[in-house]
Structure 1
Amino acid sequence: MQRAMRLLEAVAARQHGAPAKQLARDAGLALPTAYHLLRTLTHEGYLHRDKGLFFLGEAAERLSSSGAQQKRRSTVSDVLARWRDTIGVPVYYAVYREGEIEVMCVADSPGTPAVEEWADFRETGHAHAIGQCLLSQLGEEARRDHLDRYPVRAITPYTVRDEQTLLRRLNRIGRMEPVVERQEYALGTVCAAIPLTLGTTAATMAISLPSHQADRLPPAAQQLQEEIGRLLGTLALSISI
């Protein structure tokens, strides 16, 4: 396995491909051993051969992509955990992708627990700050498509009551304005969501607090917005997972 990895690394270092003899030298392997491993790796799809030169194959590229994605997830988790500890609130990261609300990462702790997903987040976007923030970033057609699939319905006494009221609220939200929601998704909880610009992807960072700490929500949201601003260059590169 170790020798095979050395060969893969040797191929990856040769952008324009390399013959078996060159790769054997690069990997420090005997030529018969290199030939055997190259045949196996080619058969498994980790390499492909063209005119006597070896290149990375689709299987190796998928492996590399998966590893890069895991690294990005780890980076986002680390960032959220740091903000959780700095601000003292659970922090959420969510995106709107392929017509669905996806909560990608949550950083909480026993002392700062996240909101329990008692009603499917994808179906109740109208009722929570994350969903309202994402929906506010969509075009009119995409927004109406979402609400056709997931109609507005009251899930607490504080939830917006009908689609027209929700649409008016979404249209009033400023481009980079935090979205605040008080007990519309879960009784006893208040939330704020900050919109993010990640190319064409609608995304958001959000926080939540028990409703008896509602006075902490505006300064905590402001602090989150400042933290996002400081790291925006890094986030644009690493957070779109």
Structure 2
Amino acid sequence: MAADIGNNQSVERALTILRLFTAAGRAELRVSDIAKLAELNLSTASRLLATLEASGVVDRDPVSGLYRLGLDMVSLGGAVLNAHPVHREARQIAQNLAAEVGLGVNVAVRRDASLFYLLNFEGRQAPRSFVLAGQRNPLHATGLGKSLLTGLDPAERRALLPSSWLTAYTPRTVTTHQQLDDEIDKTLARGYGTELEELALGRACVAAPIRDASGGVVAALSVSGPLSAIDLPHREDALARKVIETADSVSIGLGYVGPAHRLPMDTVTP
């Protein structure tokens, strides 16, 4: 029993160390930083890092001595994504949309009280120097998050997101449940949600929910980019139509057979 407890603690501590590389916001960390952040003594941190390095999940720079996540983590992440039904259904469709509209296309699921990016593709007008897959963002401050929250009723949303969690990231961020309820009601009525400089200044997005065979909201898809490229005043209706159609295509691939979402009326061709 004592051995089992010790093994469990070692596994938990190793996982804590791996999570530090995303939670700390730094790609490389010193062993002393890792020990401090994980609340471990230096010898324990060094021993665990040596084991993780031997397993290929962390690498150590031979010159600086800094640790980073190892390339074997890419193999693990790739296996997870390839086995995820939403990722399988959305990948090619999202890539095609990014090429067509020239903007970023993102697909995310809800993980507890945040959104989790499964994939993203950059269009020519919205380049990025980093990968979004695996990163998290707040639900209340993003178009993707609002779309994901359409699957919950107001009471469930309040239980998931206490008022203290509705942080203001910019002056435009929704910071009360009444505002959030209004935004989600609008998203449900139109079939799509928007975000205009709510998480970061100078950026916007249009998003729609993705449903599975049960009819439940299991993911969301968005088109995003800088204000100058996404140009919501002139492009919102056209982008909304594309986003809804693309999200519906993924939903159908997941077995959804419910009614199609209503498209913006002035974009429907008679």
In the superposition, the TM-score normalised over structure 1's length comes to 0.58
Q: Larger Cα Rg: Structure 1 or Structure 2?
A: 1
Does residue 140 (structure 1) correspond to residue 159 (structure 2)? The answer is: no
Cα RMSD, aligned residues only: 3.2
Alpha-carbon distance, 1:201 to partner: 4.1
**Residue of 241, 246, 264 corresponding to 1:227:** 246
Whether the 8 Å contact between 2:113 and 2:139 is mirrored in structure 1 is no
Query: Separation in 2 of the partners of 1:220 and 1:174?
Result: 17
* SS, match of residue 157 in structure 1: coil
From the superposition, tell whether residues 86 and 163 of structure 1 become closer, same or farther in structure 2 (CA, over 3 Å): same
Once the two structures are superposed, residues 140-188 of structure 1 have per-residue CA deviations (whole angstroms, 9 ceiling, x without a partner) of 3431122128611211111123233222332343266100111111111
Separation in 1, partners of 2:129, 2:223: 10
Question: Distance between the aligned counterparts of 1:206 and 1:115, measured in 2?
Answer: 19
Secondary structure in structure 2 of the residue aligned to 1:132? helix
Matched, 1:205 2:221: yes
* Structure 1 residues 173 and 111: alpha-carbon distance in aligned structure 2, compared to 1, 3 A threshold: closer
Name the residue aligned to 1:192.
206
Cα distance 1:138–1:175, how it changes in 2: closer, same or farther (>3 A)?
farther
Alignment of 1:53-132 (within 5 A): 69=83, 73=87, 76-109=90-123, 111-113=125-127, 121-122=136-137, 124-132=138-146
Q: Which runs of 5+ in 2 are unaligned?
A: 1-78, 257-270
* In 1: Cα distance, 2:129 partner to 2:160 partner: 23
Give the structure, 1 or 2, with the largest relative contact order (CA under 8 Å, sep 6 or more): 1
**Cα gap change, 1:196/1:147 in structure 2, threshold over 3 Å: closer, same or farther?**
same
- 2:235 pairs with 1:216: yes
Structure 2-normalised TM-score? 0.53
- Aligned-pair identity (%): 22
* 1:190 partner amino acid: A
Paired residue total: 170
1:66: how far off?
Answer: 6.5
Aligned match of 2:72:
none
Deviation per CA, 1:95-120, whole angstroms, max 9, x where unpaired?
Answer: 22455422111111454225987xx7
Q: Which amino acid aligns with 2:207?
A: A
Give the AA of the match of 1:102.
Answer: F
